Amino acid sequence: MRRAITRVLVVEDDAILRETLAEVLVDEGHDVRSAAHGHEALEHLDGWEPHVILLDLMMPTMDAYAFRTRQRQLGLAADAQTVVISAARNLEAAAVRLEADGWIAKPFDLEQVVGLVDRLLERAS
Amino acid sequence: MPSDPDRPSETVTGASAADPAGDEILRLLVDTVEDYAIFVLSPDGHILTWNRGAKRAKGYTSGEIIGKHFSVFYTPEERDAGRPAWLLGQAAEHGRVEDEGWRVRKDGTRFWADVVLTALRGTSGALQGFAKITRDLTERREAQEKEQRMLAEQRAREEAEEAVKLRDRFLSIASHELKTPVATLQLAAENLLRAADAGRLDEARVLTGTHRILKSTRRLTALVDELLDVSILSREQAPLVRTPTDIVAVVEEVVARFADAAGPNRIRVEAPATATVGGDPSRLDQVVTNLVDNALKYSPAEEPVDIHVVDEPGRVSITVADRGIGLDEATRARLFEAFSRGANAAHVPGLGLGLFITHQIVARHGGRIEGLAPPAGTGAVFRVWLPKDVQ
């Protein structure tokens, strides 16, 4: 069973990817916010708790590692399911280091993202 | 009485004819030494004496060799070139001559010899012959050669490992960079299909999606172009056609091309009416394009990019300055290497080959390029010097 409103945060520096992912997730009925890097993501987390965070690895200003460190320090969105999305070759290792709940390699099928987000939401509920 | 340093001292010539016991010891010494071939030649190069070392090194017994000309020890090529006679002449003229080279044994095999040929002169100064001392250095030479071979092999191995590392780095960066626009292409197209399936495909969505697809395609094209540039440049056969080229016109053309993307007045040009260099116009266009592209890419959208063209004696300088993230020391040190993008620029799209390509083109024009850190510490400054002549 899906919750009434599920919140998803998309953190991705590539504008097209970010906007398109957000569009698809809105179509799926999620409440979506998006950020171009870690700093913007932290701003969203101030007073808004997403169920799922889709997180790019390499971003300007604040990358995924710095974001996760700061997120834990501040105790923000501690229950959110985090999915790392990247074209990096060592993605699985990166996901482990980031203590993420899943990872998706670029390029990916849309169904992959939608499906994983749904599974994580079911697991969380 | 003070001794005369130019006169041979008494001890060296001590074994004199007046001392038959000393003579015998000297003869025994020369005869017994096995590590050196020591023998005497007549003034015209015929062999007069032979010792054990000579027999050991060259294989002849004294009976076989005494009376023969010493040129039998030389290779046919050296004999034809007149080297034995030349060495005798040198020894006669300068007192001694030293030589290293291949010598031939009695059985025809060769050995690497270190030879000292000393002119023997009587008290009158008349040439009485030559002392020839030869050492077989074949083993030492082989050891040296082996060492050099091993060093060369090690160098080759290190170079190959370095090439593999560079290739891995390239594959890693290239695949990452190529996958991103591929991912956006796929996502944009799938998004359009999903919207169509759900009956949500309105005109606005079609337009946005199409623009996204076009933008990703352009990015892919730019990446592929960058790759092709490298492969073309690394093949040396693509010759430069250097003609008198107005670099100011090139700069203005590039700036006009960037005007849309950069916004009006972001790129400011200060230049004389014309400045001619000897160059390949399309390659120079690429140099200016890469520098301007970098300046725009690595600085905030609201900050200006300044281009200065200065007509100097014999050359023209082109300076491109931005107010972006700048160049730290580590970045400056590896600025023009392939895939050596700055640590502070990991997120900027591209393969990190732009400055490598730029440097290659400038170098092939006989010019120079530098990346400077301005004293204020903000932004990066790149300066290219191009020679005016077309040679």
List, for residues B276-320, the tens digit of each pLDDT value. 999 999 889 989 999 998 898 888 888 899 999 999 999 999 999
- Cis peptide bond N-terminal to A107, omega within 30: yes
Q: What is the CA radius of gyration of chain B?
A: 38
Give the residue from chain B lying closest to A27, CA to CA: B195
Give the span between the Cα atoms of B227 and A86, in whole angstroms.
22
**Is B183 close to A106, i.e. CB distance below 8 A?**
yes
- Model-level pTM? 0.57
Report CA dihedral (B189, B191, B193, B198) to the nearest 10 degrees.
-170
Residue A49 Cα, gap to closest chain B Cα (Å): 26
Q: What is the CATH number of the domain that holds A94?
A: 3.40.50.2300
| Strand positions, DSSP E, B81-194 | 96-104, 110-121, 127-136
CA A69 from centre of chain: 15
A1 in a structural domain: no
Top residue of A27, A106, A109, A113 to mutate, by most chain B CBs within 10 Å, is A106
Helix, strand, or coil (residue B128): strand
d(CA A118, CA A95): 19
DSSP-assigned letter for residue B47: B
State how many domains chain A has: 1
> Which among A19, A24, A106 has the least Cβ separation from residue B180?
A106
Looking up tokens 């300046």 gives B295
A87–B179 C-beta distance less than 8 A: yes
Q: For residue B381, give the nearest of B321, B296, B332, B326 by alpha carbon.
A: B321
Helix B247-262 to helix B281-297 angle (10° resolution) is 40
- Name the residue ranges covered by the structural domains of chain B: 20-136, 143-234, 243-387
CATH code reported for the domain at B20-136 = 3.30.450.20
- ipTM of the modeled complex: 0.86
Domain annotation covers residue A2: no
DSSP state of B71: G
Question: Is A18 a domain residue?
Answer: yes
- Residue A58 has a pLDDT of 85
> How many Cα atoms within 13 Å fall on the side-chain side of residue B342?
21
B75 class by beta-carbon count within 10 Å (0-12 exposed, 13-18 middle, 19+ buried): middle
CATH class of residue range B143-234: mainly alpha
Q: How many C-beta neighbours within 10 Å does residue A71 have?
A: 20
Residue A61 is assigned to a structural domain of this protein: yes
Judge whether A115 lies within some domain: yes
> Which amino acid makes up residue A37?
H
Distance CA(B293)–CA(B369), nearest Å, equals 16
Query: Which candidate from B183, B191, B195 shows the least CB-CB separation from A107?
Result: B183
Provide the pLDDT confidence category of residue B264 given band limits of 50, 70 and 90: confident
pLDDT of residue B287: 93
Residue B256 to chain A, least CA–CA distance (Å): 25
What superfamily does domain B243-387 belong to in CATH?
Histidine kinase-like ATPase, C-terminal domain (3.30.565.10)
Q: Is B183 in contact with A24 (Cβ distance < 8 A)? A: no
Counting one residue from A and one from B, how many pairs have CB atoms under 8 Å apart? 65
> Quick check: B204 contacting A, CB < 8 Å?
no
Burial of A70 (0-12, 13-18, 19+ CB in 10 A): middle
Encode pLDDT of B16-71 as tens digits.
555 777 888 888 888 888 889 999 999 999 999 999 999 999 999 999 999 999 99
CB contact under 8 A, B212 and A16: yes
Identify the closest residue of chain B to A17 by CA–CA distance: B184
